[in-house]
Structure 1
Amino acid sequence: MSKSSQNHLPHLYPNIIKDVSAGEPGLIAGEIAAEDQGLISNSMLRSHSYGTIHKDPVAEETTEVVSDEHGGYALPKKQLYTVISSLFMASFLAALDATVVTTLLTLIASDLNAISNISWIATAYLLSCSAFQPLFGKLSDIFGRKILLILCSGFFAVGCMICVTDSLFWLVIGRFVTGWGGSGLTALGTITMSDLIPLRDRGFYQGLANVFFGLGSASGGIIGGLIADSLGWKYVFILQVPLAIIVGLAFYFNLNLPEGSPGLGAHGEDIKQKLKRVDFLGSFFLVSALMCILTAASMGGREIAYSSKTFISLVSLSAALLAAFVYTEFNISAEPIIPMELLGNRTVVSSSLANWFYTMGVFTYLFYVPVYFTSVMEFTATQNGLRLIPNFFGVSLGSVGAGMYMRRTGRYYNLTVGVGILSIYGVIRLLLISPKISLFEQFTLMLPSGIGYSCILTVTLLSLIASVPAKYQACTTSIQYTFRSTGSTLGVAIASAIFQNVLKSTLTTKVNALISDPQEASKIIARALENTNYTSEAPKVVRAAIRDSYALGCKGAFIFSTVTICLGYISSLFMREHKLHTRLERE
């Protein structure tokens, strides 16, 4: 297929990835102290089993008494709720901005005479958001959470203002700057909540944060369309500016962490001393590697052919940069941006891999279930949207429910096992999908796996934070969310390649068997590949063949989704049960 034809196939080449996972609250690089005895001593991590429960933790937890003045929290209730609400709003804004242009791409590109470069309007934000997230935790450990949250609110506002332009170049720059700020807001949001809230209650608040993030992602396209229709597309960005400023002011006046909090940053150092602690070399290699691999994944098979020298060069360069990053962290950096030694912690590795595989699988079916509904069952966009609504409520229920369960019991391993089975059951239902499924099944198709995935997001984050001393919670969180952000991008890219190959191969075989004229068959195949709605317009003799080809292509993607979720489940079984403390001091 020609490149020009591919430009009209956003449903077949889903590489402009609406990566809500890359922006999930919590992609953070953390504080690494250069201590005389080494980066992380065996005694500090207790042979990588810090806080592992070897006896009944419930009895211990129920007898623990919280005696500090704020009931185990870092701030008085009024300030706490103001800061938490601001963090939720920041999460909502960052998620909304990732999807707000989805319904406006054609409108904006046409207005700017930039249809050929339409993808950069969406990918500029996502690439920036994913690539820079690993840096904010380390920077906040040095400079403090408050100042960086305020700066990120400012970046977000300035980026939105830059987007109010008639130039594609400046629009892309604005989206990139906004993504920089959005990545910081979401990244620092999770670690700041860990500075404020004890682990026992942490899951509940993380569940609420995931709900706000999901709400922002789900409503972005709708809000963008409504504003653009009534006021014009530039107001989509203008109206976000005051909200970002309000969030920044809320942090300025209320985020006053108590003395001794790791969120205050380094003490007794001037700006020059703090800058000397920043791992600039490691940061450069990490950001560059992520930019290359995410660019290759998001544009491969679309703007860039998989077999092209450009694609191969991007992948090779990303591998080389990643190797340079690992070498730098092990041998050069005094305070690495991500400590490689932490990958020896079983819970850190297993929870990160669980997130990686689960996210691959979930993002795959989130994209290809609507494709199946459209191409095989001939649903409209509205009908598709209605069938996605229950999944949002299921995700909300899973996130908050997992947090409440952990708050009540202080445990999470059994929950991990249970929701993993639920997730596998959910994707098996996808494998068995047929055009004859009932209306009830259509609306609940993604519900089991959606609930399971939202629980896994909350559980693995808490298990990871609990598995290491509080001093290292930021850097371990960064490891997990780096796996998640790359997992979503790579997962959809791999699923896209599977879908395209199965669809094209099946269409070619089936249509050529029914149409004797090679030229006519070629035209039908090209039209079927270009438009999912062509099924209803195609000659009657080939309509069933086109539907069957799409069904097989989608099922190829669903098989990939099932395999990755099963691998995620297996990975999660290697997590250890760790104590969820009721005090910030973890006593």
Structure 2
Amino acid sequence: MTHRQVMQSLTGLLMGMFVSILAGTVVSTSLPVILSDLHGGQTAYTWVVTATLLATTVSTPIWGKLADLTNRKLLLQLSLVIFVLASAIAGFSQDTSMLITMRVFQGLGAGGLTALTQIVMADIISPRERGKYMGLFGAVMALGTVGGPLIGGFITDAINWRWNFFVALPFAVVAIILIQKTLHLPAQAKRKVSIDYVGIVLLSAGVSLLLIWVSLAGNQFEWASASSFLMVGGAVVALIAFVFVELKVSEPILPLTMFKNRTFTLSVVASISVGVSMFGTSVFLAQYMQLARGANATQSGLMTIPMMAGLLIISTIAGALISKHGKWKAIMVIGSVLQLVGLFMLGTIHFNTNFILVSLYMFILGAGLGMVMQNLVLIVQNAVTPKEIGVASSGIAFFRSLGGTIGVSVLGALMGTKVADLIGSKAAEMQSALAALGEKGQAIGAALASGNIPAVHTLPDSVRVIIESAYGDAVAHVFFVAAPLSILTILAIVFLPNLELSNQTRDQRAKSDSEATSQGSPLEEAEHILVDVSEASVAVTPGAEELTARR
């Protein structure tokens, strides 16, 4: 494909990415306000995020496998429709249960967009050339990740938080039309399709039970309890059954043979800790800005720009360097080290830390994620066969989402406990501050006792400083606990095979492999040539009778 053809095909894909990012990030700075309005606490806050991650995690490998079996263009449009309709309905939520339910459907659509975007890229752009187009993806991610929180914060402060869920609708309509008109994918060979329905059910049940247990344990029931035993036992049984099914079926959802590929296995390990860093920081930084620094929704969006700037600027530069030189390993090792440093430094912040320092720490973390996250998918696509690209790409996204979901759930529970302990340690100060406020203090005390997340920027200074201090130290504690996981990313990337990046797209590689198979191996070709030469020499060499006659 020419550059012009690639650009035309990418138009709808980029718009679809923008819609997915915008619909996800536009509510990030508004969640404290939304939960306050719907009377939700820290558990509900964690579940609003976890529900989407859970559905994304479970559905990603399913979308990826379907992409290897059927029309990827249609699947992309379908996932986009599901995502945006769920977003629109979420705007009418009357309580946290309805909001969480719609977030589940958002996650189903996001799983498709997450997997299919990477798969379709492999159809039209070779691994070596993909760096040249990272600037475009960086620009779209910038509009979505930086613009989303700003738009969401402005809408929440100026109109109403419900409009955050409607803002992506016009973009979605345009995206679906553009994908239909501009995205032209190579035709897939017709073949009999066998969908692993049993595997889908077992994977969904096993992962869902495990993640729901992680989310609820410690809040709804004790970690060591009958409920924990039943949920973990059920998850283990379902996942063991899933392994047996995947070994037997002809078209497994997650082929276990993929783990024989060293690049895939190590990339899975790295993706798990990257998921914790990526999803965890996006959730807890918003809480830090609003609950520890007293920012409103709009200000919170502005204050997270340094991290997004680090991710987008550095990922674009790294992509261009990889495309130019074909070397990826040194860039990814540096990125994994920056991820560790960024998380560790964020683990040292307080509610009153100089914001220039906080911005620097966020930029470092964003830079590290930008150098690692997308390139993990790139090198896996480069290392597997063309027919495995779909399931391999979705596999990496699956484990990244799995790590993020478990990380957010565990870290959210840890943060809730830490906040309660810190506020409890200052109970005397809090009682004194509330008593000095009279009836207003009693109302604030009742709201805090209910467990609801407060709108910190509206609180009196005497109470506000206690709440900000507690949340500031709790968020820092969460980052400090998450930091050691980044060591896994460093080790996994160090031991990745340093394979050369291919200059062929998925379709070109498939045709090359097919031609090579039909022509036989180089050894077989050499044998054929020797036989042909031998026969030719026999044909032109005079026999004994012919020589006698000549004499």
TM range, smaller chain: 0.7 to 0.9
The unaligned stretches of length 5 or more in structure 2 are 437-444, 513-551
Within the candidate set 305, 311, 324, 1:389 is matched to 305
More displaced 10-residue stretch of structure 1: 527-536 or 467-476: 527-536
Change in Cα spacing, 1:209 to 1:315, as seen in structure 2 (3 Å) is farther
Are the aligned partners of 1:292 and 1:318 in contact in 2 as well (CA < 8 Å)?
yes
Q: Could you say which residue in structure 1 is the equivalent of 2:501?
A: 580
The one-character-per-residue Cα deviations of 1:492-535 (angstroms, maximum 9, x if unpaired) are: 2222333344444455456579999xx99xx8997698667479
Residue 475 in structure 1 maps to residue 391 in structure 2: yes
From the superposition, tell whether residues 497 and 511 of structure 1 become closer, same or farther in structure 2 (CA, over 3 Å). Answer: same
CA distance in 1, matches of 2:221, 2:149: 26
Q: 1:176 to 1:502 in 2, by over 3 A?
A: closer
* Counterpart pick for 1:323 among 234, 237, 240: 240
1:3 equivalent in structure 2: none
Alignment of 1:63-78 (within 5 A): 70=1, 76-78=2-4
The partner residue of 2:365 within 449, 460, 484 is 449
> Match for residue 205 of structure 1?
133
Whether the 8 Å CA contact 2:310–2:366 is kept in 1: the answer is yes
In structure 2, do the counterparts of structure 1 residues 181 and 505 end up closer, same or farther at CA, with 3 Å as the change threshold? closer
Of stretches 186-195 and 495-504 in structure 1, the one that deviates more from structure 2 is: 495-504
Identity rate, percent: 26
The structure 2 residue matched to 1:344, chosen from 260, 266, 275, is: 260
How far apart in 2 are the matches of 1:503 and 1:564? 23
Q: Could you tell me which amino acid in structure 2 is paired with residue 401 of structure 1?
A: I
Equivalence for 1:22: none
Displacement of 1:237 in angstroms is 4.9
Q: What's 2:9 paired with?
A: 83
CA distance in 1, matches of 2:278, 2:30: 25
- Note the alpha carbon deviations across 1:147-173, whole angstroms, 9 max, x for none: 222333343455456557687788766
Q: Which residue of 2 aligns with 1:414?
A: 330
Q: Is 1:281 matched with 2:201?
A: no
1:248, distance to aligned residue in structure 2 (A): 2.2
Instruction: Work out whether residues 268 and 399 of structure 2, in 8 Å CA contact, stay in contact via their aligned partners in 1.
Output: yes
CA displacement 1:288-316 (0-9 Å, x = unmatched):
22333333444555566656655554343
Shift of 1:324: 1.7
- The yes-or-no answer on 1:568 pairing with 2:496 is no
Stretch moving more, 121-130 or 341-350:
121-130
Residues 311 and 369 in structure 2, CA contact (< 8 A), matched pair in contact too: yes
Query: 1:246 Cα shift?
Result: 2.7
Decide whether the 8 Å contact of 1:396 with 1:454 is kept in 2. Answer: yes
Structure 1, gaps ≥5 residues long: 1-69, 71-75, 259-263
Q: After superposition, give the CA deviation of every residue in 1:2-47 in whole Å (9 maximum; x if it has no partner).
A: xxxxxxxxxxxxxxxxxxxxxxxxxxxxxxxxxxxxxxxxxxxxxx
**AA in 2 matched with 1:249:** I
Of 72, 76, 79, the residue aligned with 1:145 is 72
Task: Determine if contact 1:156/1:244 at 8 Å carries over to the other structure.
Answer: no
SS in 2 for 1:445: helix
TM-score by length of 2: 0.76
SS in 2 for 1:583: coil
Evaluate the alpha carbon distance shift between residue 183 and residue 366 of structure 1 in structure 2; reply closer, same or farther with a 3 A threshold.
closer
Q: Read off the aligned partner of 1:424 and give its amino acid letter.
A: L
- Equivalent pair of 1:162/1:174 in contact (CA under 8 Å): yes
- The higher radius of gyration belongs to 2
> Is the contact between residue 348 and residue 476 of structure 1 (CA under 8 Å) also seen in structure 2?
yes
C-alpha contact (below 8 Å) 1:204/1:402 kept by paired residues: no
3-state DSSP of counterpart to 2:129: helix
* Cα-to-partner distance string for 1:446-476 (whole Å, 9 max, x where unaligned): 1112101111012222221122222222222
Cα shift at 1:580: 0.9
- Alpha-carbon distance change, 121 to 415 in structure 1, aligned in 2, over 3 angstroms: closer
8 A contact 2:211–2:405 mirrored in 1:
yes
> Can you list the C-alpha shifts for 1:121-157, whole angstroms capped at 9, x where unaligned?
7665444333212111211221121222233334345
Inter-partner Cα distance in structure 2 for 1:245 and 1:291: 31
Give the helix-richer structure, 1 or 2. Answer: 2
When residues 379 and 102 of structure 1 are mapped into structure 2, their CA distance, relative to the original with a 3 A threshold, is closer
Q: 1:314 aligns with which of 231, 242, 251?
A: 231
User: After superposition, where does 1:494-533 map in structure 2 within 5 Å?
Assistant: 494-505=410-421, 508=424, 533=456
**CA shift in 2, pair 1:257/1:361, >3 Å:** closer
Which is worse superposed, 132-141 or 246-255?
Answer: 246-255
1:34 paired residue number: none
TM-score, scaled relative to structure 1 = 0.71
Q: Which residue of 1 aligns with 2:22?
A: 96
How far has the Cα of 1:285 moved from its partner? 1.1
1:405 partner amino acid: L
Check 1:327–1:528 CA distance in 2 against 1; reply closer, same or farther (3 A cut). Answer: same
Question: For 1:160 and 1:525, how far apart are their aligned partners in 2?
Answer: 29
Do residues 129 (structure 1) and 56 (structure 2) align? Answer: yes
Q: Distance in 2 between matches of 1:499 and 1:167?
A: 27
Instruction: Tell me how far apart the structure 2 counterparts of residues 154 and 515 of structure 1 sit (CA, whole Å).
Output: 51
Cα displacement string for residues 322-365 of structure 1 (whole angstroms, at most 9, x for unaligned residues): 222112111x2111111111112221111121121132134444
Shift of 1:233: 6.3
Q: How does 1:24-43 map to 2 (within 5 A)?
A: none
In the alignment, what sits opposite 1:255?
183
Comparing 477-486 and 493-502, the one that deviates more: 493-502
More displaced stretch, 333-342 vs 154-163: 154-163
Q: Secondary structure at the match of 1:537?
A: helix
